[in-house]
Amino acid sequence: MPAVLDCQMLLNQLREITGIQDPSCLHNALKAANGDLTEAVTILTEEQVKEPVQDAVAAEPSNGEGSAAGKGLRTDVIDLAPDNKDDLQAVIALSLMESPKVQTVERDANGSVNMAHETNAAENKNRSKRKRCEVWGENPNQNNWRRVDDWPVGLKNIGNTCWFSAVIQSLFQLPEFRRLVLGYTLPQSVLENCRSRNEKRNIAFMQELQCLFALMLGTHRRFVDPTAALELLREAFRTAEEQQQDVSEFTHKLLDWLEDAFQLAVNVNSPGDKSENPMVQLFYGTFLTEGIHEGKTFSKIEAFGQYPLQVNGYRDLTECLEGAMVEGEIDEKATTQSVKYGQERWFTKLPPVLTFELSRFEFNQSLGQPEKIHTKLEFPQIIYMDRYLYSSKEAIQKKREEIRLLKEQIAVLQEKLERYMQYGSGPTRFPLPDMLQYVLEFVTAKLPADGPSTQESPVAPSEPQAEPRVLDGPLLQNSALKMEDAEKPEDAASAPADTPPQPEPVSKPVHSSASLTKVPERPAPHVATEEEMSLVRTCLQRWRSEIEQDIQDLKDSIARISQSIEKMYCDPLLRQVPYRLHAVLVHEGQANAGHYWAYIYDQPRKSWLKYNDISVTESSWEELERDSFGGLKNASAYCLMYIKDKMPRYVADDDAGAGQFQKEVEDLPPELKHYIQEDNWRLEQEVEEWEGEQSCKIPQIEPSSASESQDFFSESGPDQPSACEPDLHSLSSQHAMMAKEQTAQAIANTADAYEKNGVEVALCKAFREEYSRLYLLAKETPTPQSDPRLQHVLVYFLQNNAPKQVVERTLLEQFADKNLSYDERSISIMKVAQAKLKEIGPDDVDMEEYKKWHEDYSLFRKVSVYLLTGLELYQNRKYQEALTYLVYAYQSNTTLLRKGPNRGADESLIALYRRKCLLKLNDVAAALFISSDEAHVADGVSILNELIIPCMHLIINNDISQDDLDAIEIMRNRWCSYLGQEDMDATLQMKLGELLPRLLDCSAEVIVLKEPPKIRPNSPYDLCSRFAAVMESIHEASTVTVK
C-alpha cells in the first residue's frame, strides 16, 4: 500500500509541475525515469520542446505590442530556428515550461495547451498557487519521516494547498481552539435528526478536523496528510460560480463551517442563540458605527470576524486602524446647510482572537485583472486596542482634536520651511543657504594677476581603481554577454557612479580661439575695492548664519510637534487592553499566483517558528519582518492574528514544555487515541518496508567531503533544494540561492533597460553592475567586526584571485537560479542566463577547478559558523559544547590556509579561544575529579577522556605554538600535582594512574574527537550580523593571552 501511495503522490506532483493531465502520459514518463521525479519532468518538457507544432504556445507580447488586455494574443506556431531573432519573448515563454516551479502554460484534460496569459475571469481564478521555493516531494530517507521529540509537525501539500497549511497551523497553535475542536461532541439525538446536507457536511468536516488535530498532537511523523479534511472543504468551491478568488474566502468558509457545527451543539440547550457559540465567542466581536449621512445622524452596531484593513496609503498597522475607524469628517457644529459627511467606528466588544485581514489586492481597470500591492506596512508585536474602544471615545476624540491642531501647526511650519528650501521666483529653485554660499564663494574668488590662472580648481573626486575587464574574456564571448554588442548608448549613460570605470579613449582639449585663454578658470569679481568686498562678505556670512538658524528652528519645531503626536497615545490609561501577535500569514507572488506560509509565535519556546507546508523551522523576528512587512520583494503579510494578552486560557502556558502535547494526547477520547496509535503503527510498517527495499538495492558510494559540506549548508526552510536534484553543481547552485535577494535587487535595477532594450541588455546591465558592486566590496578594508567574504561567494573568490572563468560562471549561475521567479522580468532574465550557461562548454571552464573553489567557500562558511558558535558558547560558559566547535573550526581552517592566507578565518583568534576554552574545561574537570562525589568524579573523567585528551592530541600532533605548549604544560602539571596527595582516596589515585599516561604521552594512541552538531545558517545576512555581534562582544572584553 505505501508503494502505491508514493506512486500516486509522484504522479500528482508531476501533474502539478508540468500541467499535463493525461494519466497514461505521466505514468509512462515516470516509468521511463525509474521513479525519478526530476528526470520525469525533463522527459516531458523535452518532448514538448521537440514538438512545438502540436502544442501552440501563446507568446508574451513584445514591448511594442502592448498588454494582452489591449490586443489579441498571438496564437501562431513559434519557429525555434536559430535565425529567428524576433520571437525572443515567445521563446522565453516556451522555455518557462522547463522549470518545474514556474507555470506559464495551462493544459486541459486532454493535455492540450491553453493560452497562459488570457485575462478572462475563469482562468484567473484557476491560476496555480505554486511558488518557486515550495517543497515538491518528501525526502526519501526514512530518518526524515520521524518527528523529533515534541517539535511541531508540518502539513503535506497535496496540490495548491499551502493556504490550508498556513491557516490550520495558526489555528491549531491556539490552545483554546485546539481544545474546542478536540472536545467537540454531539448528542446522538442530534446526529439522528440531521437531515440537511450542509449539516451533515459540517459534522463530517469537524470529525476530519478532529482526526487531523489528534495526529498533529501525537503523531510520530514529521508531517501529516490533511487530504480528508481538505476534500470536504474544497466541495464548496467546485461549482463554476464559486471558484477560488483568494485565501480569505477559504478562511471565511472554514470558520463559517466551524461556527455552524458548534451551533448544532448550542441549539440543544439554547436554540438559535449564537452568543453561546464557542466559535463566535472566540473569533467574533462587535463595533458601533456613528456618523452623518445626508444631514442625518445615524448609529448602528455590527458584528465582525476577520476585520478588513486597507494597506494602500498607510505606513503601519495603527495608521490602518485609524483610517478604518474614522472616515470623512464629522463637524458637530455645522448647520444643516453645511453638513459634512463622515463616520466613526468604535469597538464595543473585542474577541479573544483578533484577526486583521490586510487588503493587498486591487483591481486594475486598464489591465482588467487584479494586482497585488507590495508597499511596506509595519506592525508591532504588541498592540494596545484602548484607543479604538467605545469606552475610550471621549478621551480619544479629544486627543484626535489635539492631533489635528498639531498637524495644522506642522503644515504651517512645513510651508515656511519650503520657502527657505525652495527659494527663487523662476521655474528652478534652490535652498537659500546654498545660494548665499555660492555668492559668497564668488565674492571670495580672486582673478589671477596675469597670464593663465594659478588658482586651484576644485579637485574632482578620485575614481576607484579600474577593475579587470571580466566581460571581455573568452567565457562570455561564447555567451554573447559583451556590453559592446548588447547594450545601447542610452544604457551606458545611465551607469551608476560607483561602477569601476572601463578604459575610455582620452580626447585632447580643443581651443577654438586664443581669446579663450584670457577667460579665468572660474568666475570672480572684476572690479571691487577691499572695503566693498569686506562689506559684502560680512553681510553674506551673517545672512547665511541667520537663515541657517531659522531653518534649524523650523526643523526643531516640526520634530518637537511630531514627537508630541507620536506620544499622544502613550498614556498608561490607554494601555490596558494589550493584544500580542500570535501568527502572521504571508503570501509571496502576485494577485493570481503565489505561495502561502505562516510565522507563529511559540510561547513555551519563546521564539518564532516558520510553518511552510511540511517544513517547520525556527525563525526570528528579523526574518519575519523581511518576509511580512513588504516593500522589498513580492512577499508580504495578508493576515495578522493577535490574541488578548491578559486571558491566560487563550495563550499557551509559559511552563508548558515537552510534556504539553503528550498530556493533551492522554486527555483525548479513546477513539482519537486509537487513531493516533494506528497511524504510528503504520509509520513503523512503512519504515520497515523501506529498509527492506533499501537492503535489496546496490550499496551506494559513501558521501564525499563535498557532499557532507553540502549537507551542512542545506538551508533550513522552504528554500532548500529538492532531494531529487542532481549533485553536479549543488554547491554552486546553493551559493547562487544564498544570494537570491541581492540578485533580485540587481534585476530590479535594470527595469528601464529591460523595458527599452529587452532582456539581453537587461541581463548584461545587471551582470556588470552586480560584478562592479561585488568587486568594490571585495576591495573594502575588513574590520574586526566585519568579514565581506561572508556576504557573497564572489567576494571570497575575488579576494583569493580566483580564475576569471570561475568568477564569470558563478555570477552567471547566480542570474540563472530557478528561485528568481518573482515576475516576468526576472523570469525572462533567468531563462536567458540559463541558456547562456548551456552555451559554456568544457573548454571554457575547468569544472573540476570550478567545483573545488565552491567546496572551499562552503568549507569557509562551515569554519565561520563553527567559530561563531564556539565563541557564543564560550561566552555563555558552556565550555564542553564550545571546545568541540572551536577544535573543528581550527582543523578545517588549517586546510584552507594551506591554499592561501585569505582562504580561511583568523587562525590566531581560533587558537586563542580554543586554548582558553581548554583551560577552563580542564579546571571544571579537575574540580569534579577531586570533589569525592562519585557522580561528579565520573563526569570529570568523562570530560577528560572525551574532550580534553583528544583535543590535546590534535594540538600536539599539528604545528604547535609556544602558547599552546605552555597551556598543555599547565594542564598536565595540575593533574600531576594530585599524585601522592595523602587526603586523596585510593580509588581516585588508581583512576589518576590510568589517566596520566594518556595525558603525558599523546603519541601512544590515535583518538578521534566527535564532530559537533551541524548548524545551518539561515542566510548570508544572518551570518554577517551574527559575526558582527560576536566579534564586537569579544573585542569589547579584555583579551587574555594564555602563556
Of 869, 888, 1010, the residue nearest 942 (C-alpha): 1010
C-alpha 897/C-alpha 906 separation (Å) is 10
Backbone phi, psi, residue 420, to 5°: -80, -40
Mean pLDDT of 140-146: 65
Question: In which band, very low, low, confident or very high, does the pLDDT at 1011 lie, cut at 50, 70 and 90?
Answer: confident
Q: Indicate the SS3 state at residue 371.
A: strand
pLDDT at 922: 92
Query: How many angstroms separate the CA atoms of 797 and 808, rounded?
Result: 11
Mean pLDDT of 970-997: 80
Across 27-41, 641-655, 840-854, the highest mean pLDDT is recorded for 840-854
What is the model's pTM? 0.50
What is the tens place of the pLDDT at every residue in 101-121?
A: 333 333 333 333 333 333 333
- Domain 2-44 matching CATH 1.10.3720.10: the answer reads no
Answer yes or no: is pLDDT of 445 > 50.
Answer: yes
The one-character DSSP state at 157 is: -
pLDDT computed for residue 1003 by the predictor = 54
| In the predicted structure, residue 554 carries a pLDDT above the cut 90 | yes
For residue 511, pLDDT over 60 is answered with no
- Measured distance CA(349)–CA(351) in Å, rounded: 7
> 3-state DSSP call for residue 580?
strand
767 contact partners, CB below 8 Å, separation of at least 6 = 471, 481, 811, 812, 815
How far lies 269's CA from each of 181, 189, 272, 276, 281, in Å?
Answer: 19, 13, 10, 10, 17
Amino acid at 779: K
Contact status, residue 868 vs residue 787, Cβ threshold 8 Å: no
Q: What is the band of 77 on the pLDDT scale with cuts at 50, 70, 90? A: very low
Q: Which residues pair with 579 in a beta bridge?
A: 383, 644
Please state, in angstroms and rounded to a whole number, the distance separating the CA atoms of residues 1017 and 448: 64
Distances (CA, A) of 374 to 97, 361, 467, 546, 638: 27, 9, 36, 44, 11
Rounded to whole angstroms, the Cα distance separating 270 from 204 reads 23
Cα 542 to Cα 1008: distance, rounded to the nearest angstrom: 78
pLDDT at 917: 92
User: In which band, very low, low, confident or very high, does the pLDDT at 714 lie, cut at 50, 70 and 90?
Assistant: very low
**Comparing 149-244+252-271+665-676 with 285-329+340-389+577-644, is the CATH topology the same?**
yes
* Average pLDDT of every residue of the chain: 75
170 burial level (CB within 10 Å; 0-12, 13-18, 19+)? buried
pLDDT band at 647 (very low <50, low <70, confident <90, very high): low
Question: Which pLDDT does position 592 carry in this prediction?
Answer: 67
Contact 608, 600 (CB under 8 A): yes
Taking the C-alpha atoms of residue 289 and residue 721, their distance in angstroms, rounded to an integer, is 51
Handedness of CA 383, 388, 391, 395 (dihedral sign): positive
Least confident of 335-339, 399-403, 590-594, 860-864: 335-339
For 158-162, 300-304, 392-396, 844-848, which range has the lowest pLDDT when averaged over its residues? 158-162
Q: What is the pLDDT of residue 281?
A: 92
The helix (run of H) or strand (run of E) holding residue 684 is helix 670-696
pLDDT confidence tier of residue 255, bands split at 50, 70 and 90 = confident
> Would you place residue 338 in the very low, low, confident or very high pLDDT band (cuts 50, 70, 90)?
very low
Band of pLDDT at residue 503, cut at 50, 70 and 90: very low
Architecture category of domain 149-244+252-271+665-676 in CATH: Alpha-Beta Complex (3.90)
CATH 3.90.70.10 for domain 285-329+340-389+577-644, yes or no, is yes
What is the pLDDT at residue 1039?
39
785 in the Ramachandran plot: left (φ > 0), alpha (ψ -120 to 50) or beta?
alpha
**Residues contacting 953, CB < 8 A, separation 6+:** 1002, 1006, 1007
Query: Cell for 28?
Result: 509512462
Q: Residue 650 has what pLDDT?
A: 58
Could you tell me the CA-to-CA distances from 116 to 16, 102, 822, 941 in Å, in that order? 15, 12, 17, 69
**Mean pLDDT computed over 302-318:** 90
Q: Which residue has the cell 479629544?
A: 398
Structure confidence at residue 550 as a pLDDT band (50, 70, 90) = very high
pLDDT tens digits along 146-191: 888 889 999 988 777 788 889 999 999 999 999 999 999 888 888 8
Residue 344 pLDDT greater than 60, yes or no: yes
Lowest mean pLDDT among 387-391, 484-488, 496-500, 907-911: 484-488
Question: When comparing pLDDT for 474 and 661, which is higher?
Answer: 661
Strands (E), 591-684: 593-602, 607-612, 615-618, 635-644
Residue type, 500: P
Residue 959: how many CB atoms within 10 A of its CB? 7
Q: Please list the active-site residues.
A: 162, 595
Residue range 551-563: mean pLDDT, rounded: 94
> Which range among 7-16, 527-536, 714-723 shows the weakest confidence by mean pLDDT?
714-723
Distances (CA, A) of 552 to 269, 433, 560: 70, 12, 12
Q: Which of 259, 284, 233 is nearest to 180 (CA)?
A: 259
- CA–CA gap between residue 86 and residue 83 (Å, rounded): 9
Written as nine digits, the cell of 785 is 567586526
pLDDT at 137: 40
What's the confidence (pLDDT) of residue 79? Answer: 39
Residue 732 CB-half CA count within 13 A: 25
**CA 746 to each of CA 374, 741, 742, 1021: distance values in angstroms, whole numbers, following the listed order:** 18, 9, 6, 17
* Rg (the chain; Cα; Å): 35
Mean pLDDT value across residues 190-212: 86
963 vs 101 pLDDT, higher one = 963
In this prediction, residue 784 carries a pLDDT of 74
List C-alpha distances in Å: 735 to 357, 470, 742, 863, 981. Answer: 36, 20, 12, 16, 58
Q: Which of 263-277, 548-562, 767-781 has the highest mean pLDDT?
A: 548-562
Residue 65 has pLDDT above 50, yes or no: no
Range picked from 281-285, 699-703, 824-828, 836-840 for highest mean pLDDT: 281-285
pLDDT at 829 over 50: yes
Residue 654's pLDDT band, with cuts at 50, 70 and 90, is low
| DSSP per position, 463-504 | PPPPPP-GGGSHHHHHHT--HHHH--HHHHHT--TTSPPPP-
Instruction: Name which residue leads in pLDDT, 646 or 374.
Output: 374
Mean local confidence (pLDDT), 828-842: 86
Q: Which of 15-19, 758-762, 1000-1004 has the highest mean pLDDT?
A: 758-762
| Residue 594, strand partner residues | 589
Per residue, what are the HEC states of 221-233?
Answer: ECEECCHHHHHHH
Q: What are phi and psi of 480, to 5 degrees?
A: 55, 40
Distance, in Å, from the CA atom of 154 to the CA atom of 611, rounded to the nearest integer, reads 7
Straight-line distance from the first to the last Cα atom of the chain, in angstroms, rounded to the nearest whole number: 67
Q: How confident is the model at residue 127 (pLDDT cuts 50, 70, 90)?
A: very low
CA 125 – CA 144 distance, rounded (Å): 35
What pLDDT is stored for residue 696 in this prediction?
55
The domain ranges of the chain are: 2-44, 149-244+252-271+665-676, 285-329+340-389+577-644, 731-845, 859-1037
Check residue 792 and report its DSSP letter: -
Long-range contacts of residues 178-184, Cβ cutoff 8 Å, at least 24 apart = 178/213, 178/217, 178/664, 180/262, 180/278, 180/279, 180/282, 181/206, 181/209, 181/210, 181/213, 181/258, 182/210, 182/213, 182/214, 182/217, 182/664, 182/668, 182/672, 184/210, 184/261, 184/262, 184/265
User: What sign results for the dihedral spanned by CA atoms 844, 847, 849, 854?
Assistant: positive
931-954 average pLDDT score: 86
Which residue reads 571570497 in cell numbers? 796
**Confidence (pLDDT) at 968:** 86
pLDDT at residue 538, rounded to an integer: 92
Question: What is the per-residue pLDDT across 727-751, written as a single tens digit (0 to 9) for each?
Answer: 445 788 888 888 888 888 888 888 8
